[in-house]
Amino acid sequence: MSTVAYIGLGSNLANPVEQVKQAFGALNALEHCQLVAQSSLYRSAPMGPQDQNDYINAVAELATDLAPLALLSALQSIENHHGRVRKGERWGPRTLDLDLLLYGDKSVDLPQLKVPHYGMKQRNFVLLPLQEIAPDLVLPDGESLSACVAAISSAGIEKLT
């Protein structure tokens, strides 16, 4: 039985729009996964150091038969294929960032994976694209996505396509 997972996509290096578009294709090509929906692309200011390019962000909905850690490994493989270099710099520039935001209604608390994603409720570049493809979503803690969106600012984010 497939689980619905939501993946946050982001890029601010090496033609970010193309990076995110190619990542949608790579997600759809994953074994034991099917791309169900993809949001529009959004441009947002960087969260961390401000001396970097704006980000292109989106969210994908996947139906997956992969367990959470196997899905995380597959996402990291896609990142690596896109030239992702992990320097240990938090919120630094990157060719591609794929975050496992939600995995069904499950909570995962492992050293290498926390689901729901720890910062998603504070990030308009996650919540707005997620709302676009799953407007009636209820998070594992029982809070509605619409309530999360109502609680954040939409400043600094622009819907592109």
* Residues with catalytic roles: 84, 94, 97, 99
What residues have CB less than 8 Å from 157, skipping those under 6 apart?
42, 43, 44, 45, 124, 125, 128
CA distance 143 to 131: 13
Pairing of strands 55-64, 33-38: antiparallel
H-helix or E-strand containing 132? helix 124-133
The residue behind tokens 């998070």 is 139
Rg (CA), the chain: 15
Backbone angles phi, psi at 109, to 5 degrees: -130, 85
